[in-house]
A and B are shown apart, each in its own frame.
Chain A
Amino acid sequence: MIGLWIGKCVLWLMQRFGRRATSLPGKMALRISPRLFARLARQLNFCAVVTGTNGKTTTTAMLSRMFAAGEPVIHNAEGANMQQGILTALLRAASWTGRLRVRTAVFEVDEATLPVVAPYLPIRVAVVTNLFRDQLDRYGELDTTVRKVTEGLARTAASLVLNGDDPLVRHVGLSLGTHHVVYFGMHRGHLHPLEREVMRDGAFCLRCGHPLRYDGFFYGQLGQYACTHCDFVQPHPTFCGQYEPGRLHVHQEGLPGMSFPLPTRGLFNAYNALAAVAAARVSGLSAGQIERGLQSFVPPLGRMQPFATTPVSVLNLIKNPAGCDSVLAAIAAEPGDKGFCILINDLAADGRDVSWLWDADFEWLPDRIQPAFCVAGGLRAEDMAVRLKYAGLPAAAIVPVPGIEPAIDAALDRAAARGVSLYVLATYTALYPAARHLTRRADTTSGTASWDAGRKNDETHPDSPPVSRSPESVRG
């Protein structure tokens, strides 16, 4: 009980003083009563979880909007996807006597956290969005991530909603034969042939070690694949998605087609919506409720998020090669001339190893986008500048400016002088300071847009990092 009170007190105090309480209350409570998590979690009647490398936050947000269209739902804040973040969400919904007021939950769960929390949560539906290379220095290597996800899912009795277009996720599905498994996938019409030699994590069959043969790709390693040696093959999807700007058509095996509004841009977001629709259907939600949920969905921070600066700027989160490539592809599809500001931090939440910058396809910039300039900022501004030089961007277009705010200011000045719109790309810990600064710059120029307008006060920000690790410490 003491842990509960401490947690709730910390939560109240942080909210009272306008701090972002997404993980710290849970962390403190957990330190005092390790069993609190189990005590709160077992009161839930229904829990759906979303895990995977990319798209967790968007998929979870969409799915929780779908549930919320019918009943109240507990949902953890963006990025707060480890045990303390989930506990913070539970604390928010708990009374001072430890009773949960809401009994349905949708959680985003970190891949390595899944085996830890799975035994305590009544997980009925579990979604795996995809398994890409993400933050190698956190988990060692990719095989570990596949193993952790499999291990976590094995500890549930959940129906599994898996991305059948991803050979690594398919492998997870095959190794959990006793579970109820459904696959989602994109329509063949979205396939495109391999254009350039790129690294693909799932290019080998995890069962027999032989190369996979691809007939086409959606993005990254997602595509139509089959092993050249054994019978490992892309499954026929139970939920097949087809998208056009603003709409997603879903064909569920044996049922007439459904069509939903798609409130976000790009193929990777169509995948997120498809995953959420599939999970909602497996959970028994009606097409009408799913539609209402998607209509009320506000895209999360840093997913093609516009700011009313002068000129206009658009903010995007980048955190690994596959995610970064899909962001660059989405930007390349936007009309007009462009300038860039790429903010790279290397704090723990970003991954301390920035070598992923070389696996991401920044060659898109000189080859297809030809930006007027590219400012490189953040704690690793110079590393990013070197990456751009070797990508083939002209030296005169590369401007290293360490820090976040100075980099954004320099980029906005250049964008105004050249009359182009500004695309800001930021790693996780650079995203919030960037959004804050862009809001300030928007306020001083037009006084309208606010970066967190329409969102609840303190649910979307991570706890501020300790002072010694804050991005400001780069100065000098």
Chain B
Amino acid sequence: MKPIRIAHLFPDLLNLYADKGNILTLRRRLAWRGIPVEVEQVRRDDPLHLSRYHLVLLGGGSDREQALVGEVLRKQRAEWASAVASGLPLLAICGGYQLLGEYYETAEGLKVPGLGLLDMRTTAGSTRLIGNIAIESPECGRIVGFENHAGRTEHRHLPLGTVLHGHGNNGQDGKEGVRYQNVIGTYIHGPLLPKNPRLADFVLQLALAYAGAPAELSPLDDALELLAHEAFFQRRIVVGRGLRRGDGAGASR
């Protein structure tokens, strides 16, 4: 079997919020099933051949670094658009998620252009939306993690899920993330994948299908991952909700 090839984009620039953990999760969950995997780190000055990859991961960085990345990415806009249209699985988190849209408007009113793959815009708010978050996704069940973003994102696609607790895309409409073709965008880190094994396998399944090896993934012993997911949900979401009932946080609005 030919290896599943994963591109980790700009690990030197977009490395906030432990994207290393997401890569490690994807790598291990393939290896445990005996599926060969290659992860390639693509740096800013490396040529990017999207057609090489079966899965692309775009993480988050600080404002300065994100602007640098946006500049580099936009040079290959056409290639990105056709890769996504042909079903390239793309997982974009935090800053990477914002870069998929038309622009990111800073607090000073400066519009930093994004890749424009999605009908989506992000505007910096006066406060950061920070805290534990849980959402319900129709495809992957409950997803838990942490969010920390100043950007308020609005789009007209399907969300990744609806907010059970936390802020989500903009703290207003109760939606979190985006689902479009084989693109998944989200503000959730923590990191995203280790405690959400169903989502991790959903992403891997997309990558396998795209690689032309549409095998069903064999089940793994996820006892520890599910224990961590459940413990987090019980102690940090259910309890947190009980304490904060009435302040209007979350999907109740």
Contacts and interface: CB of A to CB of B under 8 A. Distances in A.
Interface in B141-158: 146, 148, 150
A70 B187 CA distance: 54
A209 B61 CA distance: 14
A400 interface: yes
Contacts, number: 96
Interface stretch (B19-27, B83-91, B97-105): B19-27
Given A383-B195, A386-B195, A353 B190 contact: yes
Interface string A431-462: 00000000000000000000000000000000
B172 interface: no
Nearest to B145: A355
B191 A137 contact: no
B228 A203 contact: no
25 contacts: A137-B146, A140-B128, A140-B148, A142-B62, A197-B11, A197-B41, A199-B11, A199-B15, A211-B44, A346-B236, A354-B190, A355-B190, A355-B191, A358-B18, A358-B21, A358-B24, A381-B231, A383-B232, A386-B195, A387-B21, A389-B224, A390-B28, A400-B224, A400-B227, A474-B235
A204 interface: yes
A39 interface: no
A141 interface: yes
A353 B194 contact: no
Interface in A322-355: 346, 352-355
B227 A382 contact: yes
A204 B11 CA distance: 12
A10 interface: no
Contact of B21 (A136, A197, A355, A398): A355
B16 interface: yes
A283 to B, nearest CB: 35
B131 interface: yes
B17 interface: yes
A390 B24 contact: yes
Given A199-B15, A382-B224, A390-B25, A143 B63 contact: yes
Contacts of B63: 141, 143
Contacts of B17: 136, 353, 355
Contacts of A199: 11, 15, 20
Nearest to B64: A143
A356 B64 contact: no
A358 B194 contact: yes
Chain A residues touching B, range: 35 or more
A214 B64 CA distance: 22
Given A358-B194, A382-B232, 18 more contacts: A136-B17, A136-B148, A137-B130, A140-B128, A142-B62, A143-B62, A197-B41, A353-B17, A355-B21, A355-B191, A356-B18, A358-B21, A359-B21, A386-B194, A386-B224, A387-B194, A390-B194, A395-B221
B42 interface: no
Interface string A378-397: 01111101110110000100
A352 B225 contact: no
A382 B228 contact: yes
Interface in A191-215: 197, 199, 203-204, 209, 211
A266 interface: no
B228 A385 contact: yes
Contacts of B225: 386, 389
Nearest to B197: A386
By CB atoms of chain B within 10 A, which of A199, A359, A386, A400 has the most? A386
Given A136-B17, A359-B20, A379 B235 contact: yes
Contact of B131 (A197, A352, A381, A398): A352
B241 to A, nearest CB: 15
A441 to B, nearest CB: 26
A208 to B, nearest CB: 11
Given A203-B12, A204-B65, A383-B232, A353 B224 contact: no
A353 B62 contact: no
A402 interface: yes
A209 B64 contact: yes
Contacts of A385: 224, 227-228
A203 B12 CA distance: 7
Interface in B231-253: 231-232, 235-236, 243
Contacts of A136: 16-17, 148
A240 to B, nearest CB: 30
Interface in A107-147: 136-137, 140-143
B196 to A, nearest CB: 11
A356 B225 CA distance: 17
B167 interface: no
Contacts of B15: 199
A380 B12 CA distance: 28
Contacts of A380: 232
Contacts of B11: 197, 199
Contact of A353 (B25, B148, B235, B243): B148
Contacts of B123: none
Q: 10 closest A-B pairs (Cβ-Cβ)?
A: A358-B21, A382-B228, A358-B18, A355-B18, A382-B231, A141-B62, A353-B146, A386-B228, A199-B15, A359-B18
